[in-house]
Structure 1
Amino acid sequence: MRYVIIGAGAVGGTVGGRLAQAGREVVLVARGRHLAALTAHGLRLRVPQGESTYRLPAVDGPGPLGELRADDVLVLAVKTQDTVAALDAWARAPVAGGGTAAERLPLVCLQNGVESGRLALRRFRRVYGVCVWLPSTFVEPGVVSAAGTPLTGILHLGRVPHGTDGTAHRIAADLQDAYFEAPVVPDVARWQYAKLLGNLGNALEAVSGPVSGEAAEALYARVRAEGEAVLDAAGIAHVSAEEQRAARGDKVTPVPLDGAPRGGGSSWQSLVRGTGSIEADYLNGEIVLLGRLHGVPTPLNELLQRIAGEFAARRRAAGSLPVAELVAMADRAGGAAAQHG
């Protein structure tokens, strides 16, 4: 199989580089300065074992590839807010022997949240979801880092909306040869919703810095409690914290890497890079949506969704909102919701 990594940033670049290291065929899809660096110098991947450079084909879309191959696996690793544009670009791409990518090729959603799988199913017949546990960073154009050891990450994999098949097991086998643990599960959504609860802190980290210290940790606990209440009301199952800890163990332990500082998670990195967008609509916003559908107030997640969006649109500096100020805003939002309840 050949892996076409659509969005070769921190997560996509790491997975692509590790697969290439394991001898798999890989094509990287990127744009702008990142694409130029990949084309000129290759992908530089920094991991605890050292830095390696992978000279891989790099393109900006399906056009330069001509017809896709029947054994291609499309790996969607863009941020969720960029999913529709990516699906539009790739769904109609022709495949050798006839048909389109949407009709014939597997699409793997290597993304946070749960929305991308639903969007993909509108276009692609075979969609696979992944619960991504992979500490990685976009360092600069052409350079990504992944600090986890002894494994680079854990990627629970399954069909969307549920089930498994031979393709999932073949993909998992390739990932397991590439410094990942890749359990194939029939209920990948359970893992993704559990990860979503953890990702509710991404916006908090992005606007106010690391979720550490009594005030930040207490606020995150309140935000997560809203999420858990919503999932319960919606009847959505998710893996428990105990099951997650048992799955992770000490398999992916981040260590410091020279020349590759880890400033924060994916939302933090979006603000640092000044991309103008952020995933909060599909993380905290997923809880807000479900809360509105099932009659559960979610003022804290609504607040974080709004503030994170404003930070991205105005290109405000990551971590620049004092946590005490954010807590005060949360208290006011929670009080107002209680009065209107």
Structure 2
Amino acid sequence: MRYIVVGTGAVGGTVGARLAGSGREVVCVARGAHREALERDGLRLVTPEGEHVERVRVVGGPEELGELRADDVLLLAVKSQDTVAALDAWAPRPVAGGGTAGERLPVLCLQNGVANERTALRRFARVVGVCVWLPSTYLEAGVVGAGGDPLTGILHLGTYPPGRPEPVLEAVAADLRASRFDAPLPDDVMPWKYGKLLDNLPNAIEALTGPVEGPDALALVDEARAEGIAVLEAAGIATVGEEEARAARGERMRLLPVPGVPRGGGSTWQSLKRGAASVEADWLNGEIVLLGRLHGVPAPVNETLRTLVNEAVRKGSGAAAYSVAKVRERIAAARG
């Protein structure tokens, strides 16, 4: 199989580097300075045990690959706000032997949130959801860092919708396990992804106020999660609980310091820190808001967090531009 990493950022770059390091064929999709660095210096992965450099083929998009191969596997690792554009670029590409990528190739959604699989299914017949437990950071063009040890990450994989046959799933899981990941295959991956969604709700708090420390910030985290749990229960959506998730990770994936790399924040913090033009709060906190509105459950905490993160993007104010007190003022105003 050949793995095509669509979105070689923190997650995509780490998975791509580990797969390449275990001898798998990898193609990375990147543009601009990131592509130039990958082509010039290789894909550099910094880990607790040192730096690994993998020489991989780099392309700017599907047109540079021409006809795709029948054994290609697409690893979709873009942020949720970029999913539609990426899928629309790859789905119509021809595949050797006839048909298109959307008709013939599997696409694995290595993404936070729970909306990407449904979006992909509109364009791809073979969709695999992936719950990503992978502490990683985009450091600079061509360089990503990952602090998980001894496993780099844990990737739960499952077909979407559950029960659909996927011939390559076992082989992909085996390749990941040979590349410093665990790759469990639950019957239904979405409860894992909804559980991860709850864990991702505080990303907005960290991005807005900085490291989540002290009783006020931790209380706000608890409120965001409690609101999310209430909404998912009202919607009748099953989730994997915190205890089960911790048991799945155990001591196999501890977060260790990466030499020479200061500990950063989560994905939303990273986006604001580098001045990204968009963030994925609409697909994290916004998912709770959407489900709350559908099922009659108010979600003022998550609505305020979603609004403020997008406000920070528009203003270009960067990460940690708000105090917890200011966030609470806005929540109080939203509650009326």
Q: Which moved more, 1:194-203 or 1:259-268?
A: 259-268
Distance 2:33 2:273 in 1: 16
Alpha-carbon contact 2:126-2:166 (below 8 Å) kept = no
Distance 1:272 1:217 in 2: 21
- Find the counterpart in structure 2 of residue 101 from structure 1: 101
Distance 2:54 2:78 in 1: 20
- Find the counterpart in structure 1 of residue 169 from structure 2: 168
- Find the counterpart in structure 2 of residue 319 from structure 1: 320
- Find the counterpart in structure 1 of residue 200 from structure 2: 199
Distance 1:130 1:212 in 2: 30
- Find the counterpart in structure 2 of residue 9 from structure 1: 9
The structural deviation recorded for 1:50 is 1.2
- Find the counterpart in structure 1 of residue 115 from structure 2: 115
The structural deviation recorded for 1:307 is 0.4
Equivalences for 1:195-234 in 2 at 5 Å?
Answer: 195-234=196-235
Q: Which amino acid aligns with 1:280?
A: A
Structure 2 counterpart SS, 1:36: helix
CA deviations over 1:20-78 (Å, ceiling 9, x no partner): 01110000001111111111111111112210111110011011111111000000000
The structural deviation recorded for 1:226 is 0.8
Structure 2 counterpart SS, 1:44: strand
- Find the counterpart in structure 2 of residue 275 from structure 1: 276
- Cα RMSD (Å) of the superposition? 1.0
- Find the counterpart in structure 1 of residue 297 from structure 2: 296
Alpha-carbon contact 1:108-1:128 (below 8 Å) kept = yes
Equivalences for 1:1-341 in 2 at 5 Å?
Answer: 1-163=1-163, 165-334=166-335, 336=336
Distance 2:49 2:162 in 1: 36
Distance 2:16 2:262 in 1: 21
Distance 1:176 1:188 in 2: 18
Q: Which amino acid aligns with 1:220?
A: V
Distance 1:262 1:194 in 2: 24
- Alignment length, in residue pairs? 335
The structural deviation recorded for 1:212 is 2.0
Alpha-carbon contact 1:8-1:77 (below 8 Å) kept = yes
Distance 2:149 2:319 in 1: 27
Structure 2 counterpart SS, 1:310: helix
Q: Which amino acid aligns with 2:211?
A: P
Distance 2:300 2:239 in 1: 22
Structure 2 counterpart SS, 1:276: coil
Distance 1:159 1:274 in 2: 34
- Find the counterpart in structure 2 of residue 339 from structure 1: none
The structural deviation recorded for 1:322 is 1.2
CA deviations over 1:248-274 (Å, ceiling 9, x no partner): 112211111123223100000001111
Alpha-carbon contact 1:152-1:180 (below 8 Å) kept = yes
The structural deviation recorded for 1:7 is 0.2
Q: Which amino acid aligns with 1:287?
A: I
Percent identical residues: 61
Distance 1:97 1:142 in 2: 34
Distance 2:161 2:49 in 1: 36
Structure 2 counterpart SS, 1:166: coil
Q: Which amino acid aligns with 1:223?
A: A
Distance 1:228 1:258 in 2: 37
Alpha-carbon contact 1:215-1:327 (below 8 Å) kept = no
Q: Which moved more, 1:193-202 or 1:320-329?
A: 320-329
The structural deviation recorded for 1:314 is 1.9
Q: Which moved more, 1:41-50 or 1:140-149?
A: 41-50
Alpha-carbon contact 1:276-1:314 (below 8 Å) kept = no
Following TM superposition, where does structure 1 have runs of at least 4 consecutive aligned residues deviating by more than 3 angstroms?
A: none
Q: Which moved more, 1:321-330 or 1:126-135?
A: 321-330
Distance 2:252 2:98 in 1: 43
Alpha-carbon contact 1:134-1:154 (below 8 Å) kept = yes
Give the TM-score normalised by structure 1: 0.96
The structural deviation recorded for 1:313 is 2.1
Structure 1 counterpart SS, 2:168: helix
Alpha-carbon contact 2:43-2:54 (below 8 Å) kept = yes
Distance 1:262 1:107 in 2: 31
Structure 1 counterpart SS, 2:137: strand
The structural deviation recorded for 1:306 is 0.5
Alpha-carbon contact 1:2-1:27 (below 8 Å) kept = yes
Alpha-carbon contact 1:3-1:72 (below 8 Å) kept = yes
CA deviations over 1:256-311 (Å, ceiling 9, x no partner): 11232231000000011111100000000000000010110011110000000111
